[in-house]
Amino acid sequence: MWRSAYCHQQACNTLLRQTHLEVRLPDIRHDPAVVDLLLTLVHAAATSSNMALLPGCPITTGPNILQALNSMPATSTLQISSGLSASVKRLSASTEAPLSWTCTSYRGFPTFATGVLKIPSMPGAHQFVLANTFPDKQKGFAAHGTQKLSRVVFHSTSLDRVYAILCEVLKICDGQGIYTAKDPSMSLGYSRPPGLGWPASNYKNARVLLGCELSGAHSTPAEMLGIHVVTDLSMLMVRYVFLIPAGFSCPIRAHVEPAMEIAFASLRLGPV
């Protein structure tokens, strides 16, 4: 499986956004859970009123984005519509624009985790895998030779920041680096409580945990505490977005790491 995306050139972006809605919004047909995830993330960012978290959004104010998204039906409803283009256009132009932008701004390939990519020890979490990211990031990460040395780490953040992370990768905000943990429960302990969420979503009231692949050798004082402070962002790749519901019991590292290592190796081989 592949999805429509564009390179770093603005002209390619413009061409994609001028195509038929069936080309721009294939995930609604083939993987509506992904569209649900992306709209949930955009809704969280709009709720925060920090528009820097939604770079390039055609609607420039949080309240207007929320109004547009709140008028949308569930993605499962759009999936079974006989004419996707007509169904979306009936939602109004103010809704079509953010929906189209949401589904095309992230240039990687997110999908609901199934088969070898689903982590058995995380049964209560909604699991999404990022099969690849945008080409520049993918190339920089591959240059480290991850097949020789990589490890599983976790990073937690607030739901409103995840869409920007998908589009622009993790960023160092405090000057020290990106803090990642070897154990998922350690990272999850730093997650922030969610807001009310997009009303039509299946993923309301969930915290977020990012499962990442870290390449190269790392040795820092914090490592003795099970923490990696990553200063070279080209060495860190977000592979999983776990949406964690209330009451979730986080597995220990030994129960989650082997399956994630297999998934990482499968992703490095190409489409799965």
Asked whether the predicted pLDDT for residue 39 surpasses 70, the reply is: yes
Is the pTM of the predicted complex or chain greater than 0.75? yes
Asked whether the predicted pLDDT for residue 29 surpasses 90, the reply is: no
Query: Domain coordinates of the chain in residue numbers?
Result: 10-105, 109-269
Asked whether the predicted pLDDT for residue 221 surpasses 60, the reply is: no
Rounded average pLDDT over 184-204:
85
- Comparison of pLDDT for 243 and 25, the residue scoring more: 243
**Domain covering 109-269: architecture:** Alpha-Beta Complex (3.90)
Mean model confidence pLDDT for the chain = 84
pLDDT of 64-86, one tens digit each?
A: 999 999 988 899 988 888 888 78
pLDDT at 44: 93
pLDDT at 238: 92
pLDDT of 107-162, one tens digit each?
A: 778 889 999 899 999 988 999 998 877 777 777 888 876 556 788 999 998 899 99
pLDDT of 238-263, one tens digit each?
A: 999 999 988 888 999 999 999 999 99
Asked whether the predicted pLDDT for residue 48 surpasses 80, the reply is: yes
pLDDT at 66: 93
Read off the pLDDT band of 13 (50, 70, 90).
Answer: confident
Asked whether the predicted pLDDT for residue 1 surpasses 50, the reply is: no
Distance CA 46, CA 62 (A): 4
Asked whether the predicted pLDDT for residue 206 surpasses 60, the reply is: yes
pLDDT at 223: 65
